[in-house]
């Protein structure tokens, strides 16, 4: 669980990760990446069972984290992954054909065998998102532990696009120790966030994305 809470937690400036060591500098399956060439395949459909629960939220000084402990799950083929948290990056770390997205939501999952899976939802500027509005209204003013907002419920289905097509690749944690072997799914269809919502978010959090890492000829699969 300690690893999953650190997934994508920025500890170095996005421009330079010179403070990283070991696998962060030498690994060949690092994340995020710029997706430019893919292998189209008939991949398993993503089956989401994300449940409504009271809002539990934290300001960790780097990002806004929504904690889930309500057995929300993602099924990929025969494997079931349990959702533990959602947090945000500006800009989104992963790119599509060189396009940088202003924000990304990262849904962090873990299987019963310990396999980590990061599902990424990309944002483009457009209409406001109602679910994100709920989160913005409850950003803790101070850095600190989880806060349970009993008067507010959340269902993170509101942060998913209608289409569930995706890219799939093997990557890593993006903060030290940058452990590899993390399954990454990038949903192909972005959702929208308004300029005003981005401005509210950035009043509390600085940009926190790691720069795109070399692909190193690893296969990137694309659902058909």
Domain count within the chain: 1
Domain for residue 201, yes or no? yes
Among candidate residues 62, 87, 89, 109, the one labeled active-site is: 62
pLDDT in tens, 162-191: 999 999 999 998 878 899 999 999 999 999
Domain for residue 13, yes or no? no
- Residues 141-155 have a mean pLDDT of 94
CATH number assigned to the domain comprising residue 72: 3.10.200.10
Count CA atoms within 13 Å of residue 119 on its CB side.
28
φ, ψ of residue 194 to 5 degrees: the values are -85, 160
- Single pTM value for the model: 0.89
Domain for residue 77, yes or no? yes
Q: In whole angstroms, what is the distance from residue 80 CA to residue 150 CA? A: 28
Catalytic, 106? Answer no
First-last CA distance in the chain: 33
Domain for residue 16, yes or no? no
Q: In whole angstroms, what is the distance from residue 215 CA to residue 183 CA? A: 14
Q: With contact defined as beta carbons under 8 Å apart, do 92 and 84 qualify?
A: no
pLDDT in tens, 187-222: 999 999 999 999 999 999 999 999 999 999 999 999
- Asked whether residue 45 carries a pLDDT value surpassing 60, the answer given is yes
Range of the domain at 85: 2-8+22-223
Which stretches does DSSP call E strand in 60-102?
64-67, 73-76, 79-89, 95-96
Instruction: Name the strand (E) or helix (H) holding 116.
Output: strand 116-125
Give the largest CA-CA distance in the chain.
49
Provide Rg for the chain, Cα atoms. Answer: 16
């Amino acid at each position: 669980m300690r690893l999953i809470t650190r997934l994508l937690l920025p500890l170095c400036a996005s421009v330079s990760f010179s403070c990283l060591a070991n696998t962060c500098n030498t690994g060949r399956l690092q994340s995020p990446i710029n997706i430019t060439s893919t292998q189209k395949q008939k991949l398993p459909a993503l089956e989401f069972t994300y449940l409504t629960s009271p809002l539990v939220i934290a300001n960790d000084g780097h990002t806004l984290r929504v904690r889930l402990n309500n057995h929300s799950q993602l099924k990929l083929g025969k494997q079931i992954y349990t959702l533990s948290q959602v947090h945000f990056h500006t800009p989104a770390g992963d790119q599509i054909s060189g396009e940088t997205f202003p924000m990304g939501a990262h849904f962090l999952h873990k299987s019963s065998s310990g396999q980590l899976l990061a599902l990424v939802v990309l944002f483009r500027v457009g209409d406001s998102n109602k679910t994100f509005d709920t989160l913005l209204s409850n950003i803790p003013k101070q850095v600190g532990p989880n806060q349970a907002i009993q008067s507010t419920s959340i269902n993170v289905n509101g942060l998913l696009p209608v289409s569930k097509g995706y890219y799939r690749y093997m990557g890593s944690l993006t903060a030290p120790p940058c452990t590899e072997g993390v399954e990454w799914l990038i949903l192909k269809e972005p959702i929208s966030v308004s300029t005003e919502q981005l401005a509210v978010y950035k009043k509390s959090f600085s940009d926190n994305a790691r720069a795109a890492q070399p692909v190193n000829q690893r296969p990137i699969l694309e659902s058909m």
